[in-house]
Amino acid sequence: MSNWKERVYALYMSNGFADTHNMKKDFELHSRYFKKNYLKYMPKDKSKRILDLGCGMGQFLYFCHKYGYKDCTGVDVSKENIEFIKRKNENAQVYNLSIIDFLDDKEDYYDVIVLNDVIEHLTKEEAFDVLDAVIQAMRKDGVFLLKTPNMVNPFVSTAGRYIDITHEVGFTEISMKQMLRATGFKNIVIVGTDIYVLNPLISIVTKMLSKIINLVLYILSMLYGRTSLKIFEKDILAVAYKEKG
């Protein structure tokens, strides 16, 4: 990792990240988001091993514990993030390591591996190295969940790409599937995430407006010959498996 990135990640929350994320944000809001978008892909067996790579402040780990998952591990390159999680839960299984270093000796071990808002921080070479390490660490029937900003959405793609100085690359549903296939993943499904988890009435109205806007974007995309692009939500979530089901 280049030195300038190490300097940013060392104090990630206070060195810019805190400006775009309220440090007092309600973890329950994230939990509702993960329940709506992720729970359907999670195993029924609560004893399965779950790994959150680039765990940030621990929102996904919080969600996992809330829904009864017992064996949850987090990894983050930011020491500040790990210390934050430890202050909230001193027994949390979290490690201040790079993804590659942590996965170096892991093989056929995890049932669920999650990579939320991390892949865009990597160069293409680094992304392929990480995905190679992920698929090696997954059990044969394991599932991989990967979320990243959707570069097709014109309202959020520029901000999603440049809001963080450490962002290196952006993805659409097509390029994401292309990369996952190249690294050996099977049964790949790409979906747009549902971000409307606030007040039910507000969520209904904003979701309806979003669907109308997305339809307009799809029509405009078709007019420019891009008929293969069908997902226009803010973020895309890739669901992929090590072996075909």
Quote the number of domains for the chain.
Answer: 1
Q: Which of 98, 94, 73 is nearest to 83 (CA)?
A: 94
Task: Give the per-residue pLDDT at 154.
Answer: 84
Taking only the tens place, the pLDDT of each residue in 191-219 is: 999 988 877 777 788 888 888 888 888 88
Model pTM greater than 0.75?
yes
Range of the domain at 58: 3-14+26-195+232-241
Inside any domain, residue 216: no
Inside any domain, residue 152: yes
**Given a cut of 70, is residue 121 above it in pLDDT?**
yes
Buried b / exposed e across 50-60, counting CB within 10 Å, b at 16+?
A: bbbbbbbbbbb
Confidence of residue 22 (pLDDT cuts 50, 70, 90): low
Pairing mode, if any, of strands 235-241 and 110-116? unpaired
Inside any domain, residue 19: no
Distance (Å, rounded) from C-alpha 55 to C-alpha 74? Answer: 5
Inside any domain, residue 164: yes
Inside any domain, residue 40: yes
Judge whether 132 and 183 are in contact, CB under 8 Å: yes
Please report, for the domain that includes residue 47, its CATH number: 3.40.50.150
With the C-alpha atoms ordered 169, 56, 40, 46, is the resulting torsion angle positive or negative? positive
Inside any domain, residue 141: yes
**Given a cut of 70, is residue 174 above it in pLDDT?**
yes
